[in-house]
Structure 1
């Protein structure tokens, strides 16, 4: 008699009374069984092929997916002989005795909790040491959410199973369980089946042509001017000559204020990249996401992702599209069915912060079990990126400035004469100190960084029509942050340069709208890194040489004599004093080199002085004011102290 059958008989002989309700204690007993089962597996480390063991007994399950599993041949090579007379050594005897002990434990446990083999696993007949897999699979489908979460946690902690056991879960688990495993930090990647084979390219067709074909099939309605621009560009042009004429359209992110010394030298681009830019814009529209999926876009993007293993920029933009599509719950099944969950789970474990964060955003949008918020394009959670039992008590938001980026703006100050390969060592250098340092020092915080496109000059804009004012950008960001749950708990804002102006505008706007007022009500404090409250010399310089630079709208708004800037300052100052916000102002004292021709003191102390809060002068330039040299540096330690002091009461509760 198999273990499952044996247990069933025992449960039936307990009596006719109704089984006691399932409780936490019941599943605690199951976890103890699983731990013991793990010991059994370790005790018998010999291997056979899965076919031999799977077909040796009758494995009959009510679910179709497990019926198919009987025909699979996932390799878990067992070096022992099939002849039982040759397996009478110490290891065999130990396993035999442990199996007997396990039977006794199961019989005893059956008296205190309902049969875990009810429902879809009621006719299971498997090897004794396989019970842990099916117990957890059964628990992962419980009606009780707490039981499901515990099952995923226990599965993620299974590190000593045979290969075929991970594959059993990979095929038998539902989507909710697999998403949970992908968002669990210690999960073994063998829980995820490789993506299904991609459809072959059409005869006499290239990947570039199929991307353009996909783009041509997408609706041309509801598109803003930039979406229309990229779509037209991708469909009508090919080759790199046009890319050179348009100038640097594939420079997403940015390194701060500096840009090319010569305006004639621009990065090259391909039609693939133009197509991706257009598809990103389309993926921000829910109905267009449906068309991307219906026309094979998920598979096509996956092929492109695999082809560009050595091009992080391409991969990150593909993950942006997948993350946007994951905002639509009706597409979750299609995203998982096309194999993206396994790709995202692997990307989450990347040592590169940007890649891991893009994957984390996509998986968070797929995880409706533990995540209620939705993270729209440009909103990235730096911590916590995995599921965690640590309660989140407050939010810290990072808003970059002109020509900045969600990650690189907040990197550690670039060491001089440091080899690039050393930069990958997080112990020596971090590419994002809020994720590496602040998350470790304040684990009870949710840390969010946002990204939006800006430019110094219209010549350098990724999209010539993308002329957005501070008011427009603040409204756009505010709605995205509210969708991410900002305002539901205490908030601290951390801003650099023009990002501080956006923060002020967002708070003023939120205070005038009832549906957004929670954002201001829960704001506890603001950190300003060289924010030009009264204008910037950069704007003055750009206007003086406007025939050369063609300054962007963002730069023009930073002029000292800008009426809009003065109104924003006066309104916010009164508002902040009334709300009694805690404020910390940092300001640079060194000039900033922009290329080799321009040297500017971008934000002088008199402009960085908000009028309330501490004003701290630091011997750095405008770019490095938000980039501490090391974790012990004054810039970081003073920032950390402000966050802890401002949130002290909230973090204690």
Structure 2
């Protein structure tokens, strides 16, 4: 606001006005008649009032010169000057004082502010409480989950008054007293305490689980076997009960559960977590380090060769870093030789196949376990779930290591029992049988036999209360295998319009499916000997002597004795060269007093196209011979082979003396060898042993042991021979 001093009249103007005279407020005052003094006093009072109004207008930031100018126009100049002087005095008197609001207005403001504050506080409090209620978690469901995962069984109530009354409580107390008396009596008289009395004071939901777990660890073998069987039958328990059993059962019980049919996998703890690895972690490097750490001297020459071959298949980068030679038993093998980039999975397979050979040596199994091999194999198994061949080799290694009982606890701690139990549910016969062999070697409670590498039990593969009365042993021919040789005959859809109808009943191994269902009291065993030491195209250069009938027979009969072959009545079933091995084993056993049981318990032999008098294969070109058989076998299968003639003569004299039945099947159709050669591998005259029955069948050499279906003549005649040979044992 502009200062009022700027609007004051100058002093010389006041002096120039007539009628003014000096006054105390200025130097002049008005000169008027005396009669008008009363009127001047009234005007001065009005001017003073006007000056007060001007002062108020100054506080309200109004311009005061406008009313002053209006006043000067209507009144006398002296009165206006007096008003201006008063305004000037007011303008120079300092800042005006602030007037307070009336108390009535303050009360209104206080009421309004208080209402708003209180209402806002109530609203915010309500919203916070409502939000807290919405975000609150219902812990009842969480509490139930905690109860299920807890190791102990949750009791319904701890207040005895909530139970079934005084009579029930009295009966419980009486049961406790009786149990204590019986326990004391058993302790004094040194008699076994009947575990049935342990249930007297237990609740129904407590009794089943804990009593079975206690019985499964009983010193009485029959009691613990029955307890494991009862545990395996439970399929209606809650998750927490299965978890309780998994945590409470011992090693022996866990293995027994894994060998139980249709077992619930919740009985087993998952494998322990493995340490985290770096981003540049390579499995093949770990396998190489494990192979290098194993003993390198005093090894079988083929084990040395295949170990070197596995290590040779490495990347050029590793070769440059390592340099030099890898030596095994003095045989140097440079990295720079035949280097090629191959997939890492293939390198892992090479290393695992070499590790299979090492796992056949007991001392090497100890080294594998000490170097963390079980954990490494577990990691590879989890990473290579899409490779059936890698997993099969890993389980094969575990089965070999399980032959050493002192390694059982390490195998169980590494989590392999749960893995094997899961594989036992596989629909693939080969995977299933490898896992069954490993678990059988781990199970020392019901299995006394040990199944070496290449010996597989096709039935029974689970624990069974049914006694085994006899054994059936299947021996495949050269280029065959323990499973694929005995599969159902492949059906050509182009030749059979109804081929699709039989696909559901197709058997990958008819002894396991058909024969086991027809003769459940038999133990069915299939053996496998290496036609190649591995699946690699490269052959072991010192392997020739291993392919002879004498060597393979000697190695095989050792494994069969460890598997308990000869302890029960036995029927041999063989195909092609496998029949020659059977004859050689029986002849050698007849000359060894320690193997009398094998000879005396033999009840019969079945031969499928066995070349008793040699094969025409040796008459064909060298290419055809290499295509089917390695050179060592070809030489022994020639018609002029003295070893083959001597074996046949010895067996005939032995068989005629023992007088056990013999059944021979002979092929009548030629076999396609590749796309160019068609060969009648074993003629009818060569398949004729000279004793027993000879039955020609219109099939080729490969299909002579593969029935087309279960009611086919080939299988039905085989089944009848087995049932007749074991009629006394089977009771029919």
Give the TM-score range, shorter chain.
0.7 to 0.9
Match status 1:558 vs 2:637? yes
User: What residue number does 1:42 align with?
Assistant: none
Q: Is the 8 A contact 2:478 2:629 kept in 1?
A: no
Within 5 Å, give how 1:216-255 maps onto structure 2: 216-238=292-314
User: What residue number does 1:487 align with?
Assistant: 566
Match of 2:431 among 355, 360, 370: 355
Match of 2:459 among 379, 383, 396: 383
Offset, 1:376: 0.2
Offset, 1:49: 3.2
Offset, 1:224: 1.4
Match of 1:199 among 275, 291, 313: 275
- Secondary structure (helix, strand or coil) at the match of 2:431 reads helix
Deviates more, 1:449-458 or 1:347-356: 449-458
User: What residue number does 2:717 align with?
Assistant: 638
Offset, 1:234: 1.5
Offset, 1:555: 2.3
Match status 1:415 vs 2:494? no
Match status 1:581 vs 2:657? no
Match of 1:624 among 684, 703, 727: 703
- Secondary structure (helix, strand or coil) at the match of 1:465 reads coil
Match status 1:447 vs 2:524? yes
Counterparts in 2 of 1:461 and 1:110: CA distance versus 1, 3 Å: farther
User: What residue number does 2:285 align with?
Assistant: 209
Match of 2:581 among 486, 502, 518: 502
Match status 1:647 vs 2:726? yes
Offset, 1:201: 3.4
Q: Is the 8 A contact 1:402 1:455 kept in 2?
A: no
Deviates more, 1:626-635 or 1:508-517: 508-517
- Counterpart CA distance in 2 for 1:554 and 1:267 is 34
Counterparts in 2 of 1:600 and 1:568: CA distance versus 1, 3 Å: same
The CA deviation string for residues 1-43 of structure 1, in whole angstroms up to 9 with x for no partner, is xxxxxxxxxxxxxxxxxxxxxxxxxxxxxxxxxxxxxxxxxxx
Q: Is the 8 A contact 1:587 1:625 kept in 2?
A: yes
- Counterpart CA distance in 2 for 1:601 and 1:456 is 27
Q: Bigger radius of gyration, 1 or 2?
A: 2
Q: Is the 8 A contact 2:148 2:238 kept in 1?
A: no
Offset, 1:463: 3.3
- Counterpart CA distance in 2 for 1:106 and 1:558 is 81
- Secondary structure (helix, strand or coil) at the match of 1:227 reads helix
Structure with the larger RCO, 1 or 2 (CA within 8 Å, 6+ apart): 1
Gaps of 5+ in 2: 1-140, 185-191, 317-341
Within 5 Å, give how 1:282-431 maps onto structure 2: 282-417=358-493, 427-431=504-508
Counterparts in 2 of 1:425 and 1:549: CA distance versus 1, 3 Å: closer
The CA deviation string for residues 112-148 of structure 1, in whole angstroms up to 9 with x for no partner, is 77599999xx9xx997613321111111111111110
- Secondary structure (helix, strand or coil) at the match of 1:170 reads helix
Counterparts in 2 of 1:643 and 1:547: CA distance versus 1, 3 Å: closer
User: What residue number does 2:597 align with?
Assistant: 518
- Counterpart CA distance in 2 for 1:348 and 1:510 is 35
- Secondary structure (helix, strand or coil) at the match of 1:624 reads coil
If the length of structure 2 is used for normalisation, what is the TM-score? 0.69
- Counterpart CA distance in 1 for 2:247 and 2:262 is 20
User: What residue number does 2:677 align with?
Assistant: 598
User: What residue number does 1:281 align with?
Assistant: 357
Deviates more, 1:135-144 or 1:482-491: 135-144
- Counterpart CA distance in 2 for 1:561 and 1:316 is 41
Q: Is the 8 A contact 1:381 1:448 kept in 2?
A: yes
Offset, 1:345: 0.6
User: What residue number does 1:438 align with?
Assistant: 515
Offset, 1:205: 3.2
Offset, 1:238: 2.0
If the length of structure 1 is used for normalisation, what is the TM-score? 0.77
Offset, 1:550: 8.8
User: What residue number does 2:217 align with?
Assistant: 141
Match of 2:146 among 8, 27, 51: 51
The CA deviation string for residues 157-189 of structure 1, in whole angstroms up to 9 with x for no partner, is 111111010111101110000000001113211
Offset, 1:222: 4.0
- Counterpart CA distance in 2 for 1:356 and 1:267 is 27
Q: Is the 8 A contact 1:201 1:207 kept in 2?
A: no
- Counterpart CA distance in 1 for 2:228 and 2:583 is 42
- Counterpart CA distance in 1 for 2:629 and 2:536 is 7
Match of 1:466 among 521, 525, 543: 543
- Counterpart CA distance in 2 for 1:333 and 1:621 is 49
User: What residue number does 1:60 align with?
Assistant: none
- Secondary structure (helix, strand or coil) at the match of 1:626 reads coil
- Counterpart CA distance in 1 for 2:616 and 2:648 is 17
User: What residue number does 1:614 align with?
Assistant: 693
User: What residue number does 1:272 align with?
Assistant: 348
- Secondary structure (helix, strand or coil) at the match of 2:704 reads helix
Deviates more, 1:150-159 or 1:227-236: 227-236
RMSD: 3.7
Counterparts in 2 of 1:601 and 1:131: CA distance versus 1, 3 Å: same
Q: Between Structure 1 and Structure 2, which shows a larger proportion of helix residues?
A: 2
Counterparts in 2 of 1:54 and 1:277: CA distance versus 1, 3 Å: closer
Offset, 1:650: 1.9
- Counterpart CA distance in 1 for 2:628 and 2:705 is 26
Offset, 1:302: 1.3
Offset, 1:464: 3.9
- Counterpart CA distance in 2 for 1:456 and 1:365 is 23
Counterparts in 2 of 1:279 and 1:396: CA distance versus 1, 3 Å: same
- Counterpart CA distance in 1 for 2:621 and 2:278 is 50
User: What residue number does 1:250 align with?
Assistant: none
- Counterpart CA distance in 2 for 1:402 and 1:106 is 72
Counterparts in 2 of 1:114 and 1:54: CA distance versus 1, 3 Å: farther
The CA deviation string for residues 494-544 of structure 1, in whole angstroms up to 9 with x for no partner, is 000000000000011111112222111111110000000011112322547
Match of 1:172 among 231, 245, 248: 248
Counterparts in 2 of 1:310 and 1:445: CA distance versus 1, 3 Å: same
The CA deviation string for residues 434-480 of structure 1, in whole angstroms up to 9 with x for no partner, is 00000000001000000111159999565343222110001100000
Within 5 Å, give how 1:15-94 maps onto structure 2: 49=144, 51-52=146-147, 69=151
- Secondary structure (helix, strand or coil) at the match of 2:350 reads helix
Offset, 1:573: 0.8
Q: Is the 8 A contact 1:583 1:612 kept in 2?
A: yes
- Secondary structure (helix, strand or coil) at the match of 1:270 reads helix
- Counterpart CA distance in 2 for 1:492 and 1:622 is 22
Offset, 1:274: 1.2
Within 5 Å, give how 1:80-119 maps onto structure 2: 111=178, 114=183
- Secondary structure (helix, strand or coil) at the match of 1:489 reads coil
